[in-house]
Every structure is written in structure tokens, then in C-alpha cells.
């Protein structure tokens, strides 16, 4: 065991280093990083996986942040490179707060950020809230028709609060933007109220949907920064990009230079054609030119491979942690001390009885408030380990209790010491009994590891969301990802079976002899 | 005397009555005492108490004149009715474990000793098998060999012939004779009177005490105790039953 560990440990570090290598948009080793918190599953046109090169993300905000980094470099007199920190839309500001990112900029609304008390950059974009409707001529909702109307939107947005105030029956969608418009097309909702960029890229391209010409309201996008000197430089650089006319050119290329946004920035005399929007439209309007699934998969392969590696690695590390902690808990639960027994029991009940999602969120976003800030990967593995330790302790405990008392007595009569009995008899038999439920738990862990995406680690499920939002291939990608999960678990099932049979055959015959 | 039991008594925790009391007997080297009694008369408990698995409430156990320390497998071995072979170890490993892990004997030497013990019981060809692939009779003999590998002075066997077929019973009787010739003192709890042939002495455990104890032929010829007669009748009944073709073997 020991020589293997000796070799395995550096390998583990190397694997971790590979999987966790930060994604730089500008590959400059000497550059000071501008750590940018973004949710690529949010989709076009903000920041999304390039359908042609899913390893990299594109979008108007990607270009904007690249410009911001450039100006930041000029202000600081040193090169600045953008480092992407992937997070969940709802928790991007939290990433800046806990120090994992310098700038969160991803369609974050000024009002929502003010409510959070976050320090923000000047607004860089004004988004119109527009109605998307079925093309069959349903009327544009107004204050009179809104009450009771079923309307789709993104949770936590200004649009949602407008709808709730208006008395609409709000349907929110946490997943890809596509679903809001799918449901609208299918008649599950009457309309969608959403920021114009989303409506333009996901609603307007659908056959059978139209955008209402009027603007219902507007909302301003801001970046979130920390309260330090670097943050001031970032804010100043945002202004630089707006004043220099670069922002307007980017918005124009993406077909997003709205009337209200023009008022925010310098608009150059000559603006580029909306080529990025045209390219998107072309890819999404004409199914004949759509890329085949094979092409899509070949392009996605590096992303998927890396994500699979992350999923398996996190699961393995977490399982090791869970079994180690679970063993201690199991021993405590069988101890003579009532305090130890109670502590073990309490731990198991608390971690088994509360959602893993909440445990992870508390560890990642809650502990920093107490001064303990863990790296994303560490936080993810710790959360899963702590949670699964509860089940593993139960498995190990029942493994121990499952060792027949008669065998222990036989060992005693044969003169084996307690230590020798534990080592040669109880431990192997307990392990053999605990192995099947442990294998089941590992398979569950493999799937539960998807929850660590909330701590900015990109694993399989997050990779799926990113790729599916970028390509629209929710079904095809879903099947592929499901197959990957299935295949990823198989080697461990086989390994467990082997181990089980090498620890001895069936327990059943032991019962026969009694 | 190889085994001396003096005024031994035992009471289960919380039980109103003692399982047995005032049990006194002795077994010489190479001698076999068959301990008979109705089911529930405490035969197994007596064996377990002698071996130290149950706490005696009073009395002493001596092996070769010295107080027996529970776990001293060189002094005394116990073969369980359920055999209790370690399911994750081969037959050979079952027999070597106590030598290598408990006594620091080299694995080569332990192997030789264990193989000798298995050969003594005629099961050396099963050495590499897993216990769950053995018949009841084979398991029985492996369990005896496991105890024998530690060369005990005294061997306790709990219901060794239970659920053995007639042929396996003969093999067992044969093996017991050989062990006696090696000078091992044996105490055998059983209500199987087929084993009377190998018993030098016969003890009847009834009503919580050793009702009768003496040379087998004498006890059989003239039972002194009323309880002895009923025990003997019940035992004969079960014996003849187990010899009928429909017997479960």
C-alpha cells in the first residue's frame, strides 16, 4: 500500500493541477490576472462556449472584459490577463466577495447589486425589458392584462420583480435561456419578459415567436468589484472602454447597441456591421447548415474530457475523505464513551438530514464570513467528504456489527489478541460487508459531485449546461453526458466486485453452517 | 490430571437460577469424558465457562495442575458446534492464523504444523479450499485441526456429531480415538450416544448440576440418579431416531 501511495500522491497533485489550471483568455504567463467571475451557462450573447471551439468562451462581455483588461494594463503600467472564474449566475457577486474573483461582470443588474450592497463599476449597458410573444397575434401584455398571465423569465432579475409587482403568474427558469422560449412556443406560458439581448438571441430566432416593438422597462448592467485600489482601477477602466468608443463598436458588432446604451458611451462615426448577430442568426435559423452531432462532439471532446477528469477526481478524493472520516465516526459510534457515541450520532443525523447543496453553499460562501476561505476545489471535496462521511460511517458500522460474534469468540479461544483479532478477522470481514453499500454510495457521489459546480469547479454537469446552452443540443448532449456518467462508474463497480471476492466469497454459506 | 474442574458455577446475567453449580470432575491425559444431558441442561455453557468465554461465578479450572488462563490455546482448545471457521481465509490459513498472528511462529513453520494437524484429521487435501466449500463433516474436522495445530493438552468439543451423516460420524469417532492416543484429554458435550464407544467416562448434567459422573460402563449399568435414567432414555431415543433412514444425517 505504501509504495503505491508514494507514487500516487504526486500523480494526484499533477492531475489536480491540470484540472484546476485557470483558464486564461490571453495566454500571458507574466501578466497580472484580472479574475473575472462569469457564468457561461447563461448563454449568448453575454459569454458562452464557442460552438466551434467549446473550450473557449465568446460573447460581447468577453470582448468587453478583454478591453477592460487592456486599459487596466495601461493604467497599472503592467500587462493584465483575463482569468476566467466560472460560477453560478446567482452567486457571481459572492465570488468577488469571498475573494475568488476581482470582477463579476455578466449581465448583473444595478438594482439587484445595490440590494446586495455590492460595490459596483459604472453601468456599461442598458438592457430593455422586452416582450417575446407567439407570432399568432396574441396581444402585448399591459398593466391591465398582466394579472394572472403566465410569463416566463429568469429568476432573481428585475424583469421578475416587475412581473410579480404586476400580478403575473411568473415562471422562472434556472437552466438555459432556450427553455423559456420552448415553453412559450409550446403554449405553457403566454409571454416572456426578458432582457433584450436574450430575447434577440434566443427568442427572435425561433420560428413562431416575435418580439414586441415597445420597451416595457429598462435595466442597467454593472460589474461588481471589491473595495480596494485594484477595484478603483477596474472601474476606471470600464469607463475608459465606454468613452473610447470600443464598447459601442462591440455592442454594434453583436447587434446590441440600443438607444439607451448609446447615451452611456461614446459612439464612433463608423460602426461595424452586426456580424456576430448575423452569424448566430444564420446558425440558428437554418437547420440545414447546423453542424452534425459528430462534429459537435469532436469539438466538445476536450471540454468533456477535462470535465470527466474533474468529476472522477473530485469523486475519488471525496470518497477517500468520506471513508477516512466515516471510519472515525464508526469507531466513535461503537465506543464505550456516551459522549463519543452521541457526537457521532449527531454528526450523522445532521449531515444526512440536510441537503448537500446547502452544506456546500455554507462551506463555500458562508465560512468566509467566519474568516475561513477555502479554495474552490478544496471546498468542494471537503463538502462532499463531510456529507458522505455520514453514510460511510453507517456502512462501516453495520459492517462491524455484521461480523458474527461466534467468530470473535473462536479467535479468543485460539489465543488471538484483541489487536490481532481486529486486524485479521474483524476489519476484513467488516470491510467485506461494507463494500457493496460503499460502491453504491460512490456511484451516487459521482452524480452528486455535479453540485460542486456551485463552487466554480467545472465538472461534467456544468460542462453539459455550458455546451448545451451554446449549441442548443440539450437532448443529444444530455444523452452523451448520461452515457459518460454511466461509463465512468463502471470501472469502480467492477473493481469493487473484484475486491469483494478477493476478501472472500459469500457470507451466505456462513449462515448455512449455523 | 490434564483437566480439573472444581466447584464450577455459572449464572447468566439477570437469570434467577444458576445455569449450573458445584460442577467438579477431572479428565486424565488420553481420556474422554462424554458430557450428556437434555437440551438446555447447560452443556454448552459449561464448556464455554471452562474455556473462559463465560464468566464463572465461582470455582476453578486447572490444566496440568495450573490455573487455566483463558486464551491459552496451548493448554486448552474449544471446537464450537457451529465450527466458526473464518470465512475469508482458506482452510490452511484458518489453521495458521493463531500461530503466525498470535504466537509469532514463522509462516513456513506454521504451515508445516497446520498441515500436520490437517493430515491428522485426514483433510490435508482441503488446505487451499475456502471453508464455505466444505461439507459439515469436513468443516468439523478442519475446526478440530485448527485447535489441534496449537497442540493443546485439553480439547473441548461441543456437539461434534450434530448434523453429521453416519459415515462422517464414524470418521469423527476414528479421529477422536487418534487424538486420545496422542494423550489429549477430551471433554465432549453431546447427546449422541453413538459416541459412547469412545467415551471412557460419562457425565450427566441435569437440573443444574453434574448428577452423575463415572466410568461409562458403570454409569450405564447402574444409574444411581432418577434424572440419569430419564436423560439416558431421551438420549437413546434421539440416538435411534438419528439412525433411521429418514434421519436428517
pLDDT beneath 70: ranges in chain B: 231, 234-249
The reported pTM is: 0.68
Decide the pairing of beta strands B58-63 and B32-36. unpaired
Our CA-based measurement puts residue A320 at a distance from the nearest CA of chain B, in whole angstroms, of 24
Q: Which of A330, A512, A349 is nearest to A433 (CA)?
A: A330
Interface of B with A in 31-50 (CB under 8 A): none
In the numeric block, the cell 465538472 is attached to A459
Give the three cell numbers for residue A242.
465606454
pLDDT at B207: 81
Q: Do B87 and A406 touch (CB under 8 A)?
A: no
Shared fold status for A22-121+223-286 and A126-220? yes
- Among chain B residues, CA nearest to A514: B82
pLDDT at A40: 87
Kindly state the DSSP code that residue B2 receives in the 8-state scheme. Answer: -
- Among chain A residues, CA nearest to B49: A413
Q: Which helix (H) or strand (E) holds A405?
A: helix A405-413
SS3 call for A170: strand
- For the domain made up of A126-220, give the CATH fold: D-Maltodextrin-Binding Protein; domain 2 (3.40.190)
Chain A residues within 8 A of B97 when measuring between CB atoms: 414, 416, 424
What are the per-10-residue average pLDDT scores of chain A (514 residues)?
A: 49 60 51 90 87 85 95 93 89 89 94 91 94 86 88 88 90 73 85 92 86 89 92 94 94 92 91 88 62 76 86 93 94 90 94 92 86 85 95 93 93 92 90 89 90 78 81 82 90 84 51 36
Q: Do A429 and B77 touch (CB under 8 A)?
A: no
Let me know if A413 is exposed, middle or buried by CB neighbors in 10 A (0-12, 13-18, 19+): buried
Phi, psi of A244, deg, nearest 5: -70, -10
Decide the pairing of beta strands A150-153 and A191-195. parallel
Give domain limits for chain A: 22-121+223-286, 126-220, 293-513
- For the domain made up of A22-121+223-286, give the CATH fold: D-Maltodextrin-Binding Protein; domain 2 (3.40.190)
Residue B16, C-beta contacts closer than 8 angstroms, at least 6 positions apart = none
- For the domain made up of A293-513, give the CATH fold: MetI-like fold (1.10.3720)
Chain B residues within 8 A of A513 when measuring between CB atoms: 82-83, 85, 132, 136, 139
pLDDT at A367: 87
Our CA-based measurement puts residue A41 at a distance from the nearest CA of chain B, in whole angstroms, of 51
Q: Which of B206, B188, B202 is nearest to B38 (CA)?
A: B206
ipTM of the complex: 0.89
Let me know if A239 is exposed, middle or buried by CB neighbors in 10 A (0-12, 13-18, 19+): middle
Residue A448, C-beta contacts closer than 8 angstroms, at least 6 positions apart = A356, A384, A387
Q: Do A509 and B132 touch (CB under 8 A)?
A: yes
Report the alpha-carbon distance of residue B9 to residue A415 in Å, rounded. 24
pLDDT at B30: 93
Let me know if A69 is exposed, middle or buried by CB neighbors in 10 A (0-12, 13-18, 19+): buried
Q: How far is CA A351 from CA A84, A427, A452, in A?
A: 32, 25, 16
Put simply, whether B55 touches A (Cβ < 8 Å) is no
Give domain limits for chain B: 3-75+152-242, 82-145
pLDDT at A512: 37
Q: Do A414 and B97 touch (CB under 8 A)?
A: yes
Report the alpha-carbon distance of residue B68 to residue B52 in Å, rounded. 9
The answer to whether the beta carbons of residues B25 and B210 sit under 8 Å apart is yes
Interface of B with A in 61-80 (CB under 8 A): 70-74, 77-78, 80
Q: Do B70 and A510 touch (CB under 8 A)?
A: no
In the numeric block, the cell 489487536 is attached to A419
Report the alpha-carbon distance of residue B155 to residue B161 in Å, rounded. 15
Decide the pairing of beta strands A217-221 and A125-134. antiparallel
pLDDT at A18: 59
Q: Do B132 and A506 touch (CB under 8 A)?
A: yes
Q: Report, at the CATH architecture level, how domain B3-75+152-242 is classified.
A: 3-Layer(aba) Sandwich (3.40)
What are B183-192's pLDDT values in tens digits? 999 999 987 7
Our CA-based measurement puts residue A443 at a distance from the nearest CA of chain B, in whole angstroms, of 26
Q: Which of B88, B94, B141, B160 to mutate to test the interface with A (most CBs of A within 10 A)?
A: B88
Report the alpha-carbon distance of residue A451 to residue A168 in Å, rounded. 31
Q: Give ∠ CA B71-B77-B83 in degrees, rounded to 5.
A: 105
Put simply, whether B152 touches A (Cβ < 8 Å) is no
Chain B residues within 8 A of A500 when measuring between CB atoms: none
pLDDT at A288: 42
Amino acid at each position: 500500500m505504501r509504495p503505491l501511495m508514494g507514487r500516487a500522491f504526486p500523480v494526484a497533485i499533477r492531475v489536480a493541477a491540470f484540472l484546476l489550471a485557470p483558464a486564461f483568455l490571453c495566454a500571458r504567463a507574466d501578466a497580472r490576472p484580472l479574475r473575472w467571475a462569469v457564468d457561461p451557462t447563461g448563454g449568448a450573447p453575454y459569454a458562452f462556449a464557442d460552438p466551434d471551439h467549446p473550450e473557449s468562451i465568446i460573447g460581447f462581455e468577453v470582448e468587453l472584459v478583454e478591453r477592460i483588461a487592456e486599459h487596466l494594463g495601461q493604467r497599472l503600467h503592467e500587462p493584465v490577463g483575463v482569468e476566467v472564474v466560472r460560477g453560478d449566475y446567482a452567486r457571481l457577486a459572492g465570488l468577488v466577495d469571498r475573494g475568488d474573483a476581482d470582477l463579476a461582470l455578466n449581465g448583473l443588474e444595478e438594482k439587484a447589486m445595490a440590494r446586495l450592497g455590492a460595490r459596483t463599476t459604472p453601468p456599461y449597458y442598458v438592457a430593455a425589458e422586452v416582450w417575446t410573444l407567439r407570432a399568432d397575434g396574441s396581444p402585448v401584455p399591459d398593466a391591465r392584462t398582466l394579472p394572472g398571465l403566465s410569463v416566463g423569465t429568469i429568476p432573481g432579475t428585475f424583469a421578475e420583480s416587475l412581473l410579480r409587482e404586476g400580478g403575473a403568474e411568473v415562471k422562472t427558469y434556472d437552466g438555459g435561456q432556450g427553455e423559456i422560449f420552448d415553453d412559450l412556443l409550446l403554449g405553457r406560458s403566454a409571454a416572456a419578459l426578458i432582457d433584450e439581448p436574450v430575447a434577440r438571441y434566443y427568442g427572435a430566432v425561433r420560428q413562431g415567436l416575435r418580439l414586441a416593438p415597445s420597451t416595457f422597462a429598462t435595466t442597467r448592467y454593472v460589474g461588481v468589484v471589491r473595495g480596494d485600489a485594484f477595484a478603483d482601477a477596474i472601474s476606471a477602466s470600464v469607463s475608459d472602454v465606454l468613452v473610447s468608443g470600443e464598447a459601442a463598436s462591440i455592442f454594434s458588432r453583436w447587434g446590441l447597441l440600443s438607444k439607451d446604451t448609446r447615451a452611456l458611451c461614446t459612439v464612433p462615426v463608423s460602426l461595424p456591421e452586426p456580424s456576430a448577430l448575423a452569424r448566430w442568426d444564420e446558425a440558428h435559423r437554418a437547420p440545414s447548415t447546423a453542424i452534425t452531432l459528430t462534429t459537435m462532439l469532436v469539438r466538445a471532446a476536450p471540454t468533456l474530457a477535462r470535465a470527466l477528469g474533474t468529476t472522477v477526481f473530485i469523486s475519488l478524493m471525496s470518497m477517500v475523505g468520506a471513508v477516512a472520516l466515516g471510519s472515525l465516526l464508526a469507531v466513535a459510534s461503537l465506543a464505550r464513551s456516551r459522549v463519543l457515541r452521541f457526537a457521532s450520532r449527531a454528526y450523522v443525523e445532521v449531515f444526512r438530514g440536510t441537503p448537500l447543496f446547502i452544506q456546500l453553499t455554507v462551506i463555500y460562501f458562508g465560512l468566509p464570513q467566519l474568516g475561513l476561505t477555502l479554495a474552490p476545489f478544496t471546498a468542494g471535496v471537503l463538502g462532499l467528504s463531510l456529507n458522505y462521511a455520514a453514510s460511510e460511517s453507517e456502512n462501516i458500522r453495520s459492517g462491524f456489527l455484521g461480523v458474527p460474534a461466534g467468530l470473535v469468540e473462536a479467535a479468543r479461544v485460539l489465543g488471538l489478541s484483541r489487536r490481532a483479532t481486529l486486524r485479521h478477522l474483524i476489519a476484513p470481514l467488516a470491510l467485506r460487508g461494507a463494500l457493496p453499500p460503499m460502491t453504491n454510495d460512490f456511484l451516487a457521489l459521482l452524480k452528486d459531485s455535479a453540485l460542486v459546480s456551485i463552487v466554480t469547479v467545472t465538472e461534467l454537469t456544468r460542462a453539459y449546461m455550458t455546451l448545451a446552452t451554446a449549441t442548443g443540443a440539450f437532448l443529444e448532449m444530455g444523452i452523451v453526458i448520461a452515457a459518460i456518467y454511466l461509463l465512468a462508474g463502471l470501472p469502480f463497480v467492477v473493481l469493487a466486485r473484484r475486491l469483494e471476492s478477493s476478501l472472500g466469497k459469500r457470507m451466505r454459506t456462513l449462515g448455512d453452517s449455523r | 490430571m490434564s483437566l480439573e474442574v472444581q466447584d464450577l458455577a455459572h449464572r447468566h446475567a439477570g437469570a434467577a437460577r444458576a445455569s449450573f453449580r458445584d460442577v467438579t470432575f477431572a479428565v486424565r491425559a488420553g481420556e474422554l469424558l462424554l458430557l450428556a444431558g437434555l437440551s438446555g441442561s447447560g452443556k454448552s455453557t459449561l464448556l464455554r465457562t471452562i474455556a473462559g468465554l463465560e464468566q464463572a461465578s465461582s470455582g476453578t479450572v486447572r490444566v496440568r495442575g495450573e490455573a487455566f488462563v483463558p486464551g491459552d490455546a496451548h493448554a486448552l482448545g474449544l471446537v464450537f458446534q457451529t465450527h466458526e471457521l473464518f470465512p475469508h481465509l482458506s482452510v490452511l490459513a484458518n489453521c495458521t492464523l493463531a500461530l503466525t498472528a498470535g504466537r509469532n511462529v514463522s509462516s513456513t513453520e506454521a504451515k508445516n504444523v497446520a498441515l500436520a494437524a490437517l493430515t491428522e484429521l485426514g483433510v490435508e487435501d482441503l488446505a487451499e479450499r475456502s471453508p464455505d466449500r466444505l461439507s459439515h463433516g469436513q468443516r468439523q474436522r478442519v475446526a478440530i485441526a485448527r485447535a489441534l495445530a496449537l497442540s493443546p493438552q485439553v480439547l473441548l468439543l461441543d456437539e461434534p456429531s450434530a448434523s453429521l451423516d453416519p459415515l462422517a460420524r464414524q470418521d469423527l469417532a476414528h479421529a477422536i480415538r487418534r487424538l486420545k492416543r496422542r494423550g489429549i484429554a477430551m471433554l465432549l458435550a453431546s447427546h449422541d450416544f453413538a459416541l459412547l464407544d469412545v467415551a471412557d467416562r460419562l457425565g450427566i448434567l441435569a437440573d443444574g448440576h453434574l448428577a452423575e459422573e463415572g466410568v461409562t460402563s458403570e454409569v450405564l449399568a447402574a444409574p444411581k440418579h432418577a434424572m440419569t435414567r430419564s436423560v439416558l432414555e431421551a438420549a437413546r431415543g434421539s440416538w435411534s431416531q438419528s439412525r433411521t433412514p429418514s434421519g436428517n444425517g
